[in-house]
Amino acid sequence: MDSQWRFVRHPSATAKQQLRASNKIASRIELVPPVRSYVVVVSGVCAVDLKFPRLRVARTRKMDVDDSQLQLYFDTVLELTRNAGKIVREHHNKGKKVTIKSCDVDLVTETDQQVEKLLVTSLLTKFPGHKYIGEEAVADGKPCELTDEPTWIIDPVDGTMNFVHGYPNFCISVALWIKKKPSIGIIYNPILELMFTAQTGKGAFLNGNRISTSSVKDLEKGLLAMEFGTSRDPEKMAVVMENTQILLPLLHGIRSSGSAALNMAMVAMGGADCYFEFGIHVWDIAAGVPLIQEAGGFVSDPAGGELDPLSRRVLVASNEEFAKKIIPHLKQHYPERD
């Protein structure tokens, strides 16, 4: 593999974190124009301007999406993802300009940025009222905010470290969430030509063929996907090592593929029986959640409660029984939220 990498440093994280914090507060306040209210007096009618600001009411109308609209969203993003796959394939075997983000093993390439730009520009041009969360936009200080509005959640290259090395286990991960719930999930490995798709209520597919999770319920027959991650925080690393030691003797085996989205796709197609991780971001898991749910699998927080997509914690399994057996063994870790 031609491993011509040129490394550059990303602007320092601290400045970015401060910027993100102030953006977060600012973006929450929104006023809508005052409303005119009518007071009916028995003898007559007069209009009174009640200058009370109202929040959020104006939005409810936009979020009820019917099936034909969802199908339009799905067809549009499927075609865009295929096109983005061409860009990734073109750069797969070429020299790469690699930027170091939060630490030496947290990387981004020009291809990540190019793919995210293509997807975001095309989707927001086609659907102007929609919102988005993109891995690289957040790295550049955009608030990571999931509201009730239709929101595209994009990881342009999930498994960037693999992409940098030319190890063909990476993918484009795109999801649409509406009212903070998943509607569409697409995970595409353009090198191995694996196109995983799901629409809520319409099933999960691999290259157009329906997929479902395995029927494995016992730990000793289970294959677990687990990651070391791109953080070298000693506390986090200690938890990863401890979980590896605890779990390995209990399972058939452990696999670490380097991509959260592809790990979830492996569980959805029954190739693995469970995947959990601390430290991932909403963009790593947003497409995998509907895929697992539509494949008949189980999605939760690693401690067993409901999944919080911004908590940076995830567990998925072939079924609830398997999940309930592995969760009590897990050493927990609580990273800073997205």
230 binds ligand LIP (CB under 6 A): yes
321 annotated as a binding-site residue:
no
Nearest of 90, 92, 95 to residue 5 by alpha carbon: 95
260 binds ligand LIP (CB under 6 A): yes
Per rule CB under 6 A, count of chain residues that contact ligand LIP: 13
155 annotated as a binding-site residue:
yes
Min separation Cβ 300 and ligand LIP, Å: 17
Q: Is residue 119 exposed (0-12), middle (13-18) or buried (19+ Cβ within 10 Å)?
A: buried
- Tell me the β-bridge partners of 225: 255, 275
338 binds ligand LIP (CB under 6 A): no
Min separation Cβ 283 and ligand LIP, Å: 7
Q: Which of 109, 151, 160, 169 binds ligand LIP (CB under 6 A)?
A: 160
Min separation Cβ 258 and ligand LIP, Å: 6
Q: Which stretch binds ligand LIP (CB under 6 A): 36-44, 62-70, 226-234, 287-295?
A: 226-234
229 binds ligand LIP (CB under 6 A): yes
Residues in CB range of 77: below 8 A, 6 or more apart: 119, 123, 152, 174, 176, 184, 186
Instruction: For residues 183 and 279, give the distance between their C-alpha atoms in angstroms, rounded to a whole number.
Output: 24
284 annotated as a binding-site residue:
yes
Are the beta carbons of 263 and 272 closer than 8 angstroms? Answer: yes
- Tell me the β-bridge partners of 239: none
What number of residues does the chain have? 338
Min separation Cβ 24 and ligand LIP, Å: 21
Min separation Cβ 282 and ligand LIP, Å: 11
Nearer to ligand LIP, 219 or 282 (CB): 282
Per-position x/- string for 106-135, each x denoting binding to ligand LIP as judged by CB under 6 A, each - no binding: -----------------------------x
- Tell me the β-bridge partners of 314: 277
Instruction: For residues 132 and 146, give the distance between their C-alpha atoms in angstroms, rounded to a whole number.
Output: 8
Are the beta carbons of 317 and 267 closer than 8 angstroms? Answer: yes
Q: Alpha-carbon torsion 236, 323, 285, 85, what sign?
A: positive
Q: Which of 277, 300, 314, 315 binds ligand LIP (CB under 6 A)?
A: 277
227 binds ligand LIP (CB under 6 A): yes
Site for ligand LIP in 140-159 (CB under 6 A): 155, 158-159
284 binds ligand LIP (CB under 6 A): yes
Nearest of 235, 233, 239, 292 to residue 261 by alpha carbon: 292
Min separation Cβ 255 and ligand LIP, Å: 12
Nearer to ligand LIP, 154 or 178 (CB): 154
Nearer to ligand LIP, 184 or 264 (CB): 264
Min separation Cβ 171 and ligand LIP, Å: 9
Per-position x/- string for 43-72, each x denoting binding to ligand LIP as judged by CB under 6 A, each - no binding: ------------------------------
Q: Which stretch binds ligand LIP (CB under 6 A): 196-204, 277-285, 295-303, 317-325?
A: 277-285
Which residue positions form the known binding site for Mg(2+)? 135, 155, 158, 284
Which residues make up the interface to ligand LIP (CB under 6 A)? 135, 155, 158-160, 227, 229-230, 259-260, 277, 280, 284
